[in-house]
Structures are given as C-alpha cells and as structure tokens.
Amino acid sequence: MNYESFYKWQVLEKFSKLCEPHEWNYMEDAFNGDVEAALSLCVALGNDLRGVVAVAMWRAKVKREAFREYFSSAWVHDHRYVIDAAQTRRTLGYMFRYAAFPIPVELPDVVTLWRGTCKLTIAEAREGYSWTTDRDTACWFAMRFADINGSPLVLSADVAKSDIALFTNAREESEALLIRPPATVKIDGDVTDWQRRYAAYEAQKNTRQSALRVVL
C-alpha cells in the first residue's frame, strides 16, 4: 500500500465518524475518483468540512478530474474555508497545481486584472488571491461595504496568463485567481469613479435578477 492509499484509508475512517449520513453517501465514491460524487459531496458538506475535505483529497491524490470538480466548487462556494484549511499559500499553490485548471485560450499572454477591497492597505490588498478581468466588478467589491468599513480601493496589475491558477465566471465575476501576488500594482481611479461604476454594476445585476425571476 503506497502513501496515498494509506492516507486515503485513514482519512475516510476519520470522516466516517465526522460526517452526517447524507454527506457520507458521496464520500467514498468521491475519494475513489467519481466526478459526479465529488460534486455532490461538495454540495452536501457543511462549510466546516468543505475546505478540510479539499485538502484531504489533494493529499490522497484523488483522481485529478474528480478533485478538480470538487475543488472548483468548494472555491466558488466560499473560498475562505479552503484557504483556512490549506493554512499556507504554498499548500494552496500545490493544490491548484495538482488541479491544473484549464485557462481560457482567448485570454492574452499578458492579462490586466483588477482587485477591489476596502479597509485594506495597498500592500494587504495586493496579497489577495481573487482578482477579476472586469473593472466594474472590482469597483463593486470596493464600494459594497465602503460605508461600513471605509477605505475603498481598486488596484490594477498586468500579469502573465501563466500566473493565473483558476479562471471562473461561475458567479458572473470573471474571477482570476493568483497564487503569486503581482509584482507591481497601481491604484486605478478614485472614489467618485468607483462609486459610479458600482452603481452601474448594481443596476445591471438587478436587471439580470429581474429577468431571471420573469423566466422562472
């Protein structure tokens, strides 16, 4: 029995005691590489276990396709729990490297990204994982809690396409994930501009939601 097999046996034994029955239903099949079970497992798990299981699946070297499905779903659902479970930026980088997410071919070799935050310094904001190819999205993130937290900020950076570990539009946010922070960033715009773009983004989002309700 190799290390990965032994680790998988150990971790399944542990999770069998921690999981609710509706969670355990998918656990073994997911760890055995079933893609559909991996996605169902991510949906079934509570936030407290979702990130822990992502790390365990990586350490057990679960079949890449199943791990990729689980990992991307866990990240989109709430990446904070994945970050907490990984503990270090290096471990998170290894997990994304193993997942080997395909990056859209239409992205140029050098991509302009934006990141919107509030209550953070430039240095702190630069260290964040989640960026976007859409400037209005970054403005929305900068301004949505600015009244409460203060200090809105929108940064831009030009990065190599090869530095993007994951690109997803699952939440219509054109998210690009960076494990390595950009070497150079700059403040893009000012609060008046960000507020205007925030309002435009919010209006578009409300229009989309209203259209969806009509369809449903």
Q: Radius of gyration of the chain from Cα atoms? A: 19
Beta strands in the chain (DSSP E): 110-118, 130-132, 152-160, 164-168, 175-178, 186-187
In 3-state terms, what secondary structure has residue 160? strand
| pLDDT of 3 | 79
Nearest to 91 by CA among 142, 57, 124: 57
Two structure tokens written together for 187: 């403040």
Place of tokens 């395909």: 102
* Ranges in the chain, pLDDT < 70: 1, 210-216
| pLDDT of 208 | 72
| pLDDT of 48 | 85
Please tell me the pTM assigned to this model.
Answer: 0.89
| pLDDT of 8 | 87
| 45: Cβ contacts below 8 Å, ≥ 6 apart | 19, 23, 53
Domain ranges of the chain: 3-99, 110-211
DSSP for 49-66, written as a single string: HHHHHHHHHHHTT--HHH
At 30-77, the pLDDT tens digits run 999 999 999 999 999 998 899 999 999 999 999 999 999 999 999 998
- Provide, for the chain, the percentages of residues in helix, strand and coil under a 3-state DSSP scheme, each rounded to the nearest 5: 60, 15, 25
